[in-house]
Chain A
Amino acid sequence: MKLSALAASSAVLFALAAPVAAEPQAEVLHWWTSGGEAKAVGVLQEEFSANGGTWTDMPVAGGGGDAAMTALRARVLSGNAPAAVQLKGPAIQEWYEEGVLADISSVAEAEGWADVLPASIAEHMKCEGHWCAAPVNVHRVDWIWANAEVLAANGIEMPTTWDEFNAAADKLKEAGVIPLAHGGQAWQDATVFEVVALGLLGPDGFKKAFVDLDADTLSSPEMVAVFDQMRKMRGYVDENFPGRDWNLATAMVMNGEAAFQIMGDWAKGEFLAAGKVPGEDFLCESAPGDGYLYNVDSFAMFEVDGDDKKAGQELLAKLIVGPNFQKVFNLNKGSIPVRTDVALDEFDSCAKKSSEDMAAASENGSLLPSYAHGMALRGAQAGAITDVVTAHFNSDMSSEDAVKMLAEAVANSM
């Protein structure tokens, strides 16, 4: 009796464990664990299962991805990398140089990625000419968000130059409103800095300074002007800003305590979640000056063994760039699709503007990677610049000293 029960149960177990021919499998390492993000990644998970794949979720939260990178290092060192990892910018090429990334050119070519992705963004997804990563979304970084009511009450238009911004901010300060909502964390300081730098240096100057790390541009008088403007920005921030999280700063704009915030379009998610309407309750406008700073999330594909895992990886890459996922994911996340051929009917006005500006910027070559969000430079160089920016912003250092320090820090980080 006992024996037959044992036999029956082991037969069931065996049936469950029996291998199905090359069923697509993918283990995905990411750090999208909070509300809207988790929902967005759930969309991908469902679509992957609907196509017959087995998804192994490996979410590692904490430290803005630092914890996930530590986990990744351990997995790669033990020779057992996940199939896809949330990575972005030059970090993809950095991992490629460690010799652990896979080639997914066959999927990319079959799906015609080159025709639907903006050229400068597609470049980030390639390792020495072949495709090694799949882009998920485009966040624009150079936005100014404003409380419509506060601006109207003080007779202020959205600024189109930095002089106008300064004039508006001075007026607001006199009226007792905090002109700029800002959180004193290094990455937020760097975000404001790069937006100011794009405005004052122009797209070409920005590219030379923060993509090519051109020493002359980094120590030019224009860069001194950028730090001068940062000093002014410091005066527009309230005194409690150190350590404040970005979403608390967004809340200050929302409830009228502050007028403006300079932040990427993830801030839009906060406004929308609070039931605010773009164009009525809050305004979104690109920051003064030309150009478009993008922050593109992507999944890098790691070398895996076994047909099922390879099939899973290819299916995943295909789905990520597929039009359906691009639309649903980005509606959840607040960003815009990286594909230029997705209909934007369901998106809000800010997203539509972002998409139009991206197409225009891609045409005239001013579509640029964000340095503050790890798209333009490797960690060591970007970190060295941020150290100087945040040290200047949080002290009374002169702009000339800051520029000198900037050139030295960049040279020392190589």
Chain B
Amino acid sequence: MTVWLERNLPRMVLAPSFIAVLIFVYGFIGWTAWVSLTRSKLMPRYEIDGFIQYKRLFASPRWDTAMDNLYIFGGLFICISMVLGLLLAIMLDQRIRIEGALRTIYLYPMALSMIVTGTAWKWIMNPGLGIQEMVRGWGYESFTFDWIVNPDRAIYAVVIAGIWQSSGFVMALFLAGLRSVDGEIIKAAQVDGIPTWRIYTAIIIPSMAPIFLSAFIVLAHLAIKAFDLVIALTGGGPGYATDLPATYMYAMAFSRGDLGQAASSAMVMMAVVFAIVVPYLYSELRAKPHD
């Protein structure tokens, strides 16, 4: 009896959450896939009607804008956050005096909700209220910073706010990584007279590869599910210049009564996530073979 319990207890404890995940994640992914093949409007309908919703999706210029924005936003957000986070971490790693206070200051934006970040940056970047107005007030009359109201630049304004929010968190990750590098190796390198920048590029950064991967995965999923930041910062505008796939899906499902279209866009978003996660899972599983 005890042996049986010992062997099966983990399974019994895990079973409820396993079943819940099975239904509420994978079951509903299946349901969405089904609905994306129908002509559902206000309410879900279940008669399959081929790939009409996907054809409509790929014919929609607004969806093209949303996907382009995802690549621009995702690419810049992930790269700049990582570079900035790494630089900040290296600076903080120089055993400076008030490191604790600085670390907290940089990390704090992460404690804010994206809605707060978006609203604050909306005011900061508004040409009539924020930076532009301030600099003009100092006498530089021709200074212009109107990205947030310029349809060609607005998505970069979203990137700025996103980076402000997340780079401190990336910094904390990297700082932990830097501290975990074996001090003996660094001391040995210093004894050999290797310059500090070489120590970083040749020894410390390469040994932090797993941290890079974690930071990348965290940032990538933040980018793909970005929704509240755009809603608060630009409302998808000007026009639909800062629409992202998530805001597109929301508009179709909840404002326009076009559930089929929303479901097909959700499926495409999921495909994008899989394209990132599957290689990661593959490398993880290969690196740590079981048994």
Contact = CB atoms under 8 A, between A and B. Distances in A.
Given A239-B146, A380-B256, A383-B251, 11 more contacts: A76-B43, A184-B238, A189-B239, A242-B234, A242-B237, A242-B238, A380-B257, A387-B62, A387-B240, A391-B240, A405-B61
B166 interface: no
A95 interface: yes
A324 interface: no
A66 B237 contact: no
Given A63-B255, A380-B261, A241 B239 contact: no
Nearest to B235: A243
Given A240-B127, A387-B62, A405-B61, A379 B255 contact: yes
Contact of B149 (A76, A242, A383, A395): A242
A231 interface: no
A94 B257 CA distance: 9
A341 interface: no
Nearest to B45: A98
B5 interface: no
A412 B240 contact: no
Residue among A98, A379, A405 with most chain B CB within 10 A:
A379
A3 to B, nearest CB: 42
Interface of A: 63, 66, 69-70, 73, 76-77, 91, 94-95, 98, 184-186, 189, 239-243, 378-380, 382-383, 387, 390-391, 393-395, 405, 408-409, 412-413
Contact of A380 (B41, B126, B148, B241): B41
Contacts of A409: 60-61
B56 interface: yes
A69 B254 contact: yes
A66 B149 contact: no
B257 A91 contact: yes
B50 to A, nearest CB: 15
Nearest to B152: A395
Nearest to B58: A412
Residue among A94, A95, A390, A413 with most chain B CB within 10 A:
A390
B153 to A, nearest CB: 12
B56 A412 contact: yes
B61 A73 contact: no
A186 B234 CA distance: 12
Is the contact region of chain A dominated by helix, strand, or loop, or is it mixed?
helix
14 contacts: A70-B254, A184-B149, A185-B235, A186-B237, A239-B146, A240-B126, A240-B127, A241-B149, A243-B235, A243-B238, A379-B258, A390-B237, A390-B238, A390-B240
Given A73-B42, A380-B261, A394 B241 contact: yes
A243 B127 contact: no
A185 B57 CA distance: 23
Contacts of B151: 394-395
B251 A391 contact: no
A375 to B, nearest CB: 15
A298 B42 CA distance: 19
A98 B42 contact: yes
A189 B240 CA distance: 12
Residue among B61, B126, B251, B255 with most chain A CB within 10 A:
B255
A388 to B, nearest CB: 8
A409 B240 CA distance: 14
A77 B43 CA distance: 8
B237 A383 contact: no
A380 B259 CA distance: 10
Contacts of B41: 94, 378, 380
A71 to B, nearest CB: 11
B59 interface: yes
A19 B42 CA distance: 37
Interface string B206-245: 0000000000000000000000000000111111110000
Interface string B234-275: 111111110000000001001111100100000000000000
Contacts of B255: 63, 66, 379, 383
A385 B99 CA distance: 55
Contact of B239 (A393, A405, A412): A393
B76 to A, nearest CB: 21
A387 B149 CA distance: 17
A189 B241 CA distance: 14
5 cross-chain pairs, A with B, having the tightest CB-CB distances, nearest first: A394-B239, A379-B256, A394-B238, A240-B128, A379-B257
A140 B146 CA distance: 35
B59 A412 contact: yes
Contacts of B235: 185, 243
Nearest to A381: B256
Residue among B62, B241, B257 with most chain A CB within 10 A:
B257
Contact of B256 (A383, A394, A395): A383
Contacts of B59: 408, 412
Contacts of B237: 184-186, 242-243, 390, 394
Contacts of A69: 254, 257
A390 B43 CA distance: 27
Residue among B148, B149, B236, B238 with most chain A CB within 10 A:
B238
A394 B146 CA distance: 14
Contacts of A382: 256
A73 B43 contact: yes
Contacts of B258: 379-380, 383
B248 to A, nearest CB: 10
A242 B14 CA distance: 50
A390 B239 contact: yes
A390 B148 CA distance: 16
B260 to A, nearest CB: 10
